[in-house]
Amino acid sequence: MASARKNLMIDERYRLERKIGSGGMADVWLAEDTELDRKVAIKILHESFAEDQEFVERFRREAQAAAGLQHPNVVGIFDRGEFRDTYFIAMEYVDGPQLKELVKGGMGVQDAIDFTRQILNAARFAHRKGIIHRDLKPQNVLIDDEGRARVADFGIARSDRSDITATGSVMGTAQYLSPEQAQGKDTTARSDIYSIGVILYEALTGQVPFDGDSAVAVALKQVNDVPRHPSSINSDVPPALDAVVMRALAKDPERRFNDADAFLKALDAAEKAPDTPRRQDTAVFAAVGPEGEASDAGYLDEEEREEGEEEEARRRRRRWIALALAVMAVAVMAVAGLVAFLVTRSNPDQVEVPDVLGQQVGVATEVLQNRGFDVDTTYSASAAPENQVIEQDPIPSNRGGSDIDEGSTIVLAVSSGPGITEVPDVQGLNEADATKRLEEQGFKVKPSFQFSSDVPNGRAVGTQPASGARIQSGSTVKLLISRGSNQAEVPSVVGLQTEQAIDALDAAGLGSNVVQRDDDAPAGEVVDQAPSAGRSVKKNSTVTIFVSTGAISVPGVVGQPRKQAVSALKQAGFSVAIEEDTSAPASKTGIVVDQFPPGGSRGQRGDTVTIVVGDAPPVP
């Protein structure tokens, strides 16, 4: 597609105004929602990833996961879809800084706790819905104009492979990754607990626990190194809070807090703990458990305090002994490692494993045999071109594999080309289930949204190609998702006042056009409508409503007796004023000889009609 630019319309609804951010897989623009007249943030997938099904799926899943999260500490998702050759998500626009901007150099202890508590509230809500963020970091936490933390970018896709690829790129941000993510293991809610622990650490100290020259270097530290206590960097951090941070940063997920509730409970306890505890309380604070609780330190008498000091001295002596033994062990291991290295390097039978991934099987076999290896091949259906090597065992040395004995057998997995698979029937399934069923059959999925009178909003209308079609495995199938009916039933508004009628039409998804009409009905009352009530029309269609002006006809009463004329005018809705004409002939005495306004003219209810009645003087 053409590059995103100012005033570009997305999905015929969102007008781009300016770029406000850019990430590893998408740009974020401030835009105007022209339908609802509001500001939104539009995340547009980078064009380089739009053809990569893995990234598209990750992008799509982020929107799907976050759309169901309505929480004060979570950035809301409004809409998503395709635009030309890429994909977009429309999100709530939060006009405020990233938490990353506030934690530079550290912040006050209380502020750090308060923001962490809000992030934990968002994580707890998501975890209860089975959603793990997997990339929590200060850059994904926005602060709104009320000072409230709002977590964005929920739903980074799971991966069965390591989060660190052969080129050292990281799914997520290395400084905030849990050790299990860095090793490519399964992620759980406790992985988010670790990331939140890193955020709290950075908020308290102004620096992350681990940093390095590359993502791989940082990830290795996440797995192997122990971070400094926050209090060793910021002396204002009390021991109780120190213990909470270190519990959250435990390498073993089982030793971290069980969940966000336990983390919150521990923060509450740390706030109540003394800022300058006695020396013997330190061990108690260090014993914060995965449930977020610590045993009560209490207050010790003099004898118990002396015993505690003696025990502390014994612990220090044991630590020095352990440290000396550890140094000795490291020295022994270093010597053993050096010997092993020299032996390995001097062994002429150990050779590197060539990388033949992606090559044609014939070429790959020749390369390996020329290096002295035996070759076995297996074939399986794959989206890769026919006869292309898609896997090899052992792993190539340049991709992290070890050297092996010369003459060993290398097994190549070779693509036999895409297989033929029948498109399954997904009609009526929700988007997630329909996508899963198609992917299980080996298809790539491209969602497309359309109106449907028969299928509820969010459910699958069908696929293109249709279910039952037999196509190559790995092909892209368009999944048609219903946006609900585009029809609306016209409500009856006759008899309502104008504003009530307009509101009723608006609630039905219809527009209104008001036309004034003279009618005996009270002014402002709807006396007719078109189309009529009960008709089915397209949403946003216009309904014309005819509104009474309240004008009524003035009865002609000239020639009528006074009493009869007054009665006729009042029944018609008019007030009556009477004047007497003494110059009228005697035959017109008591008879209406004139009126104003004249009969047949129009007036409003309550208007005054003046009648002139003959009143000849008596004959002398």
Phi, then psi, of 338 in degrees rounded to 5: -65, -40
CB 227 within 8 A of CB 257: no
Averaged pLDDT of the chain: 81
Alpha helices in 129-238 (DSSP H): 179-182, 189-205, 215-224
Q: Are residues 291 and 315 in the same domain?
A: no
Regarding whether 170 and 104 lie in a shared domain, the answer is: yes
pLDDT digits (tens, 9 = 90+) for 128-185: 888 888 889 999 899 988 889 999 876 443 333 333 332 333 445 789 999 998 888 8
| pLDDT of 585 over the 70 cut | yes
Query: Are 258 and 327 members of one domain?
Result: no
pLDDT beyond 70 at 452 = yes
Q: d(Cα 294, Cα 290) in Å, to the nearest integer?
A: 10
Name residue, tokens 């290096």: 371
How would residue 273 be classed by pLDDT, with cut points 50, 70 and 90?
confident
Q: Which of 431, 466, 482 is the last residue of a domain?
A: 482
Question: Does residue 227 have a pLDDT over 80?
Answer: yes
Q: Does residue 29 sit in the same domain as residue 164?
A: no
Task: Give Cβ neighbours of residue 514 (< 8 Å, ≥ 6 apart).
Answer: 498, 502, 544, 545, 547
4 falls within a domain: no
The pLDDT assigned to 594 comes to 95
Instruction: Determine what percent of the chain is predicted with pLDDT higher than 70.
Output: 79
- Per-residue pLDDT tens over the stretch 10-24: 988 999 999 888 776
> For residue 346, what pLDDT is reported?
43
Contacts (Cβ under 8 Å, ≥6 apart) of 207: 106, 233
Provide the number of structural domains found in the chain: 7
pLDDT band at 282 (very low <50, low <70, confident <90, very high): very low
Q: Which amino acid is at 189?
A: A
Domain of 406, in residue numbers: 351-415
Same domain, 292 and 389: no
Could you give the CA distance from residue 118 to residue 149 in angstroms, rounded to a whole number? 6
What pLDDT was estimated at residue 553?
87
Does 270 lie in the same domain as 130? yes
Residues 141 and 244 grouped into a single domain: yes
pLDDT value of residue 296: 40
What local confidence, expressed as pLDDT, does residue 442 receive? 83
Pairing of strands 476-482, 526-530: unpaired
The reply to whether 337 falls in a domain is yes
Q: Check if the beta carbon of residue 84 is closer than 8 Å to that of residue 1.
A: yes
Predicted confidence (pLDDT) at residue 307 exceeds the cutoff of 50:
no
Q: Which of 11, 95, 111, 135 is catalytic?
A: 135
- Is residue 316 one of the residues assigned to a domain? yes
Q: What is the mean pLDDT of residues 281-286?
A: 42
pLDDT in tens, 475-522: 899 999 998 888 889 999 999 999 999 999 999 989 999 998 888 788
Quote the pLDDT of residue 298.
34
Whether residue 450 contacts residue 480, with contact meaning beta carbons closer than 8 Å, is answered with yes
Asked whether residue 2 is domain-assigned, the answer is no
Catalytic, 135? Answer yes
Pairing of strands 141-143, 149-151: antiparallel
Average pLDDT over residues 513-536: 90
In a domain, 430, yes or no: yes
Same domain, 406 and 491: no
- Within a domain: residue 204? yes
Distance CA 460, CA 450 (A): 10
Regarding predicted confidence, which is higher, 569 or 602?
Answer: 569
Best CA proximity match to 266, nearest among 355, 196, 367, 319: 196
Q: What is the C-alpha to C-alpha distance for residues 162 and 149, in angstroms, rounded to an integer? A: 31
Q: Are residues 245 and 320 in the same domain?
A: no
Domain boundary among 60, 92, 124: 92
| Pairwise CA distance, residues 464 & 494, whole Å | 45
Same domain for 516 and 378, yes or no, is no
Please indicate, yes or no, whether residues 325 and 370 belong to a single structural domain of this protein: no
H-only helix segments in 213-352 = 215-224, 239-248, 260-272, 282-286, 302-346
Is 67 or 240 the better-scoring residue by pLDDT?
Answer: 240
| Whole-angstrom distance, CA of residue 585 vs CA of residue 594 | 14
Whether the predicted pLDDT of 556 surpasses 90: yes
CATH code of 563's domain: 3.30.10.20
d(CA 545, CA 268): 61
Q: Are residues 355 and 407 in the same domain?
A: yes
Please indicate, yes or no, if residue 569 is contained in any of the structural domains.
yes
